[in-house]
Chain A
Amino acid sequence: MYPDNFRYTKEHEWVLAEGDTGTVGITDHAQQELGDIVYVDLPKVGAKIAAGKSLGSVESVKAVSDIYSPVSGEVTAINESLADAPEKLNADPHGEAWLVKIRLSAPEEMQNLMTAADYQTYIGAEK
């Protein structure tokens, strides 16, 4: 369920590091909690992001949740397809519905994040 090659945050974001590019998204747990997603607010390409700071938000009908970036860097791409089809986030949060790609400015930050096993324990405990 939770890919081993991802790393995870306590705020339910994931990041996949490939070289100096990190792909960021929200976890399946997050999309379940949010319910039907109606809108995603993403930063502009070129925006500078700091780890732990908000890079946008996800909306359901009755709630808004900030998305906190797991890593620092510059946004190199955003997932434009979510503008017309935010429901992808419910269907495939770990794959098709990635949110942004970031050129990592501090790759060592990855070590502060949880592994898949840790994350599963974490969400198990949260309940």
Chain B
Amino acid sequence: MIKKVTTHLSQNEALLFERSSPGKKGYQLPELDVPAVDAAEALGADNVRAEIPGFPEVSEVEAIRHFTRLSTWNYAIDHGMYPLGSCTMKYNPRINELVARIEGLAWAHPYAPESLCQGAMEVMARMEAALAEITGMDAVTLQPAAGAHGELTGILLIRALLEKKGNPRKKILIPDSAHGTNPATAAIAGYAVQNIRSSETGLLDVGALEKMVDQDVAALMVTNPNTLGVFEDHIMQAAEILHRKGALLYMDGANMNALVGMARPGDFGVDVMHLNLHKTFSTPHGGGGPGAGPVAVKKALEPFLPTPRLKRVGKKWAYDYKRKQSIGRVKAYYGNFGVLVRALAYILAHGGPGLRNATMDAVLNAVYIRKQLEPYFDLPYSSPNMHEVVFSDDRQARLGVRTGDIAKRLIDYGFHPYTVSFPLIVHGALMIEPTETEGKLEIDQFVEAMISIAKEVETDPEMVKNAPYHTRTSRVDEVTAARKPVLRWKG
């Protein structure tokens, strides 16, 4: 019945500090080729620390065993599918890791003379051009370090443009289906947030938008397809309404995996958007980061982009720091170059036709899952879905089982859970995004697992509510963790 996994021995492992012993060493430094210096003399006795209390002391063997054992307690894409909605957990190509480590790229210092950075600058220029083509926009900045960082940059760009026109305005409209970073970002950028409710079909209510957009509204932030995985088919009308009233359209690019090569935000009225390279462009999540959040803009916003910008001077690349209208820097140096290299390698591997095929497979996988699970889970909206599908737990909730419980039981079947309880506009949401890098076998096993759990909910709801059973750790006590936070080892 559960085909994908079985129980397996895994090593126990204590914390580093519990395995430490004074004098154990994992390193050896070369002999100094210059005279040693007395620290107290050179720095002043008050400035020299006694020791680093509690810091680990382990040998190399213990170090490698420690981290290896820890790693075996994780689930990862290399193990199997992550059906997490809006996360686009696709395969992380290993060639990306290799090229990012090539010495001339990995050891490039951001302040090395420009004549010795031409390779890095060429990579960035190539990346900017590729992303501009993919998004249908006019200019791209690679400076932001992550999606939320890109959102902040985007909103600051909007503010700068509106300020130049005489009135930065006061509010940003955000759909109630939006990711939490959207309102958080708007607040940091100094805007008030006004929620716009979705229509009965889960889409942007263009009628409501028409009424809401006034001289105080700076922009609307949308995700397209939205967080239900449904394309906002009135997006061009929405853009028209905003532009008519002097406001702008910001697009959260988290769901670009449904659009690359098939539709371009710049073509349907978007003024500024961010991309998540760690989603659409395959750079590894690494347990929570790093990412990169490039921002693409229409011409009107180009003068405000973060400084510096790349420019061509004869046959060479150079940086332009003389940008009077720029919003300034959002990060030191030029961006998460190492992540850009990985994303560019992904783009080169696919090429134009390949990117389009990937998008089509991503949508095919999601629709295939929807068709097979529709008889077992409630679909809150009937609109066609794209790269992800959102169910609600209504049917199971009547038997006392919620989306979170189903997700935990899915772990016993060998899968990482889907996104639980988001978006908030769906009651007890199950948000599923397979991505294009899942094959038919993996997806069929996922579908079988979900159907099996749906049946378990009917015959044995209590069992499902107390899952998972086969993991190293059973359900953790998040309540005590929050009531009495212990955030470090004390010994």
Q: Do chains A and B touch in the complex (CB under 8 A)?
A: yes
Q: How far is the CB of A101 from chain B (nearest CB, A)?
A: 24
Q: Mark A85-114, 1 if CB is under 8 A from B, else 0.
A: 011000000000000000000000000000
Which residues of B are at the interface with A, using a C-beta cutoff of 8 A?
A: 421, 478-479, 482-483
Q: Does A38 sit at the interface, judged by CB under 8 A? A: yes
Residues of B within 8 A of A39 (CB): 482-483
Interface of chain A: mostly helix, strand, loop or mixed: loop
A38 proximity list for chain B (CB < 8 A): 479, 482-483
Looking at the assembled complex, report how far the CB atom of B397 sits from the nearest CB atom of chain A, in whole angstroms: 13
| Contact indicator per residue, chain A 31-67, by CB within 8 Å of chain B (1) or not (0) | 0000010110000000000000000000101100000
By a CB distance below 8 angstroms, the chain A residues around B421 are 62
A60 to B424, CA, bound (A): 17
- Please indicate the chain A residues that have their CB under 8 angstroms from the CB of B483 in the complex: 38-39, 86-87
The 9 closest A-B pairs by CB, nearest first: A38-B482, A36-B479, A61-B478, A38-B483, A61-B482, A61-B479, A38-B479, A86-B483, A39-B482
A97 to chain B, nearest CB (A): 14
Q: What is the chain B residue whose CB lies nearest that of A36?
A: B479
Question: For A62, what are the chain B residues with a Cβ–Cβ distance below 8 Å?
Answer: 421
CA distance A39 to B482 in the complex (A): 8
B176 to chain A, nearest CB (A): 16
- In the assembled complex, 13 residue pairs joining A and B whose CB atoms fall closer than 8 Å, in A order, are A36-B479, A38-B479, A38-B482, A38-B483, A39-B482, A39-B483, A59-B482, A61-B478, A61-B479, A61-B482, A62-B421, A86-B483, A87-B483
Q: In the assembled complex, which residues on chain B have CB atoms less than 8 Å from the CB atom of A87?
A: 483
Measuring CB to CB, which residues of chain A are less than 8 angstroms from any residue of chain B?
36, 38-39, 59, 61-62, 86-87
CA distance A62 to B482 in the complex (A): 10
A38 to B482, CA, bound (A): 6
Instruction: Give Cα distance in the complex from A36 to B483, angstroms.
Output: 10
For B480, the closest partner residue in chain A by CB is A38
Question: In the docked arrangement, what's the CA distance between A59 and B483, Å?
Answer: 10
| B245 CB → nearest A CB, Å | 32
Q: How far is the CB of B490 from chain A (nearest CB, A)?
A: 19
What B residues does A59 contact at CB under 8 A? 482
A35 to chain B, nearest CB (A): 8
Most buried by A among B421, B478, B483: B483
State A36–B479 Cα separation when bound (angstroms): 7
Residue of chain A at shortest CB distance from B483: A38
Q: How far is the CA of A86 from the CA of B478 in the complex (A)?
A: 14
A87's nearest neighbour on chain B, judged by CB, is B483
Nearest CB in chain A: distance from B379 CB, A = 24
CA distance A3 to B137 in the complex (A): 63
Nearest chain-A residue to B420 (Cβ)?
A62
B residues in contact with A61, CB < 8 Å:
478-479, 482
Q: Which residue of A lies closest to B421 (CB)?
A: A62
- Minimum Cβ distance to chain B for residue A64 (Å): 12
Given contacts A61-B479, A62-B421, 11 further A-B contacts (CB under 8 A): A36-B479, A38-B479, A38-B482, A38-B483, A39-B482, A39-B483, A59-B482, A61-B478, A61-B482, A86-B483, A87-B483
Complex Cα gap A108–B364 (Å): 63
CA separation between A59 and B421, bound complex, in Å? 17
A61 to B421 CA separation, bound complex (whole angstroms): 14
A87 vs B484: C-alpha distance when bound (angstroms): 11
A87–B421 alpha-carbon span in the complex (Å): 24
Neighbouring A residues of B482 by C-beta, 8 Å = 38-39, 59, 61
Closest Cβ of chain B: how far from A85's Cβ, in Å? 8
Shortest C-beta distance, A26 to chain B (Å), equals 17
- How far, in Å, is B286 (CB) from chain A's closest CB? 25
Interchain nearest-CB distance for B250 vs A (Å) = 26
Per the bound structure, the CA–CA distance linking A38 and B484 in Å amounts to 8
In the bound assembly, the distance between CA atoms of A87 and B479 in angstroms comes to 10
Q: How many angstroms from the CA of A31 to the CA of B479 in the assembled complex?
A: 14
Least CB distance, A84 to chain B, in whole angstroms:
9
CA distance A61 to B482 in the complex (A): 7
- Per the bound structure, the CA–CA distance linking A62 and B180 in Å amounts to 13
Nearest CB in chain A: distance from B407 CB, A: 13
Min Cβ gap A127→B in Å is 13
Chain A neighbourhood of B479, CB < 8 A: 36, 38, 61
Nearest Cβ in chain A — how far from B353, in angstroms?
A: 43
A residues less than 8 Å from B478 (CB atoms): 61
Q: What CA separation (Å) do A86 and B484 show in the bound complex? A: 10
Q: Nearest CB to that of A38 among chain B residues? A: B482
**Bound-state Cα–Cα, A47 to B482, Å:** 27
Instruction: Return the chain B residue nearest A90 by Cβ.
Output: B479
Cα distance A39–B483 in the bound complex, in angstroms: 6
Report B90 CB to chain A, min CB distance, Å. Answer: 27
Q: Taking CB as reference atom, which chain B residue is nearest A61?
A: B478
- Min Cβ gap B376→A in Å is 26
Q: Report Cα–Cα, A38/B480, bound state, in Å.
A: 8
B187 → A minimal CB distance (Å) = 15
Contacts of A36 in B (CB 8 A): 479
What is the bound-complex CA distance between A86 and B483, given in angstroms?
A: 7
Q: How far is the CB of B183 from chain A (nearest CB, A)?
A: 13
A47 CB to closest chain B CB (Å) equals: 23
What is the CB-to-nearest-CB distance from B414 to chain A, in angstroms, rounded to a whole number? 25
How far does the Cβ of B433 sit from chain A's closest Cβ, in whole Å?
A: 21
CA distance A36 to B484 in the complex (A): 13
For the complex, what is the distance from the CA of A100 to the CA of B483, rounded to whole Å? 20
Interface centre among A61, A86, A87 (most CB of B within 10 A): A61
| CB closest chain-A residue, reference B479 | A36
The CA-CA distance from A86 to B479 in the complex, in Å, is: 11
B180 to chain A, nearest CB (A): 12
Bound complex: CA A61 to CA B420 (Å): 14
